[in-house]
Structure 1
């Protein structure tokens, strides 16, 4: 009996190895890094439409246009939206019906009274508008949001003191018309401003991309960046759960502005053009 089992062990081990290997490889598949088309010099939002298709947009002052690329950054389509204005487009998300949402809510001077989120049909270009204000009637600079369960979740940039910053979480109904963004939570962050957000609907895992920028001696640009992974939180209170911080390596000053989930093992983050580097996207392990 012992000899019979021992004789079959190598074959059994080989079978188990081959059965598990595809799963391991799928989980470990690392997306490539790539440069973005010249049309996306000031990229500010990204979202996956499919494993090999991504939508993008530029920051304030650029054309009201969405760009579709493949998974290596090759431009497939430009969707012009002449009926809209790009006052300060800051992030991009999608719902489970495939609609795109563009957040025109950047407010560096904290004085805007015309905040919008645009819901866009990516096939026809038809657009609805959500006009909103904050429940405490204050002004916030927002660069990050995502759609989840019929609501939009906005994350602010807010400066405290002594190198500390914070992000406030507001919840906004994802329905066209006049709406109110209601405050839910806040989280203090050391030398980081939040510039992009995404959620993995299957697991509920939330990620925020954030960076810190300064000039040494008044003229030498320097930056550092991180991804904050949020999970194990009370229902809908993303900032109250476990927070893990993952550093994004960058040799040159880089402004990471957007993030989304690429697959089971990796995120994709994108940075806009600077004096030293072209706009590009790179993977970050989850």
Structure 2
């Protein structure tokens, strides 16, 4: 955790200097508009992952080192409910859901040294949400002894429920080619292998959601140059995981989450950094 904070601080300092010197991309060249932005409460400085099952409700979590809490927000970014779970937040990075359950991805693995990552299953129907099952995942062909910090493909921050499938998208530091894994919610322990790989994304994947109307995935992530320049993006994928479009997220930094509400609104969340605050924003594609 401390290594992550030091690294990200250095990245953001360098990014700020480069953006100040070079300017940013003009918004009229982008494929979207930012309709509104809200600063989030201090509790959500490390927001990581979004899920919006209703037009007026957004759920989020914080990542490693924070409390094991699911936060419910309104569409002004205000916290309206907190629900603590009886499970350590080792590195929570994603939240999604279906008609019956929430799925929280304790899947962060920057160091590459976790042999097993977990997905927490929480029944939505319980009056007091509680973990009903823990899915333990290991990656096929993952030799953790060979993995180095931010130099491997066995990290992940993106989890989505799409057409009754639970899908995990890798944060592939080494290749930047995101691998897609299908998770079986009925299996408590499973070894997963990629069912697809995504070519053409301009960086690593940090968040994803599925638009039921358009049958497209909305993806966010970022790239980091050798000079420390931090460049977030948003992209659209078709149902076969082909890239349809990609756009830079002008004016944003460490974008960690994305969700598409039933009415088609696209929300993204940004984690706090040295030169930017934690915030929630609503986008509209043109």
Specify the alignment match of 1:284 in structure 2. 283
TM superposition score normalised by structure 2? 0.77
How far apart are 1:180 and its partner, in Å?
3.0
2:43 is paired with a residue of what secondary structure?
Answer: helix
* Deviates further, 128-137 or 271-280: 128-137
Specify the alignment match of 2:72 in structure 1. 68
Specify the alignment match of 1:107 in structure 2. 109
Q: What is the RMSD of the two structures over their aligned residues, measured on CA atoms?
A: 2.4
| 1:226 and 2:233 matched | yes
TM superposition score normalised by structure 1? 0.77
| 1:43 and 2:47 matched | yes
Q: Give the whole-Å Cα distance in 2 for the aligned partners of 1:76 and 1:264.
A: 21
Q: Give the whole-Å Cα distance in 1 for the aligned partners of 2:33 and 2:168.
A: 30
Q: State whether residues 31 and 266 of structure 1, in contact with CA within 8 Å, keep that contact through their aligned partners in structure 2.
A: no
**Residue pairs, 1:94-243, within 5 angstroms:** 94-97=97-100, 99-122=101-124, 123-127=127-131, 128-137=133-142, 140-160=154-174, 165-175=176-186, 177-189=188-200, 191-214=202-225, 216=227, 222-231=229-238, 233=239, 238-239=240-241, 241-243=242-244
Unmatched 5+ stretches in structure 1: 1-27
Q: Give the whole-Å Cα distance in 2 for the aligned partners of 1:182 and 1:212.
A: 24
List per-residue Cα deviations over 1:114-158 (Å, max 9, x = no partner): 310001135422212111112344561001110124432111122
Q: State whether residues 173 and 181 of structure 1, in contact with CA within 8 Å, keep that contact through their aligned partners in structure 2.
A: no
Q: Give the whole-Å Cα distance in 2 for the aligned partners of 1:136 and 1:215.
A: 28
How far apart are 1:168 and its partner, in Å?
0.7
Q: How many residue pairs were aligned?
A: 242
Larger Cα-atom Rg: 1
Aligned with 1:86 (options 85, 89, 97):
89
Question: Structure 1's 166 and 29: CA in aligned 2 closer, same or farther, altered over 3 A?
Answer: closer
Higher relative contact order (CA 8 A, sep 6+): 2
Question: Structure 1's 100 and 265: CA in aligned 2 closer, same or farther, altered over 3 A?
Answer: closer
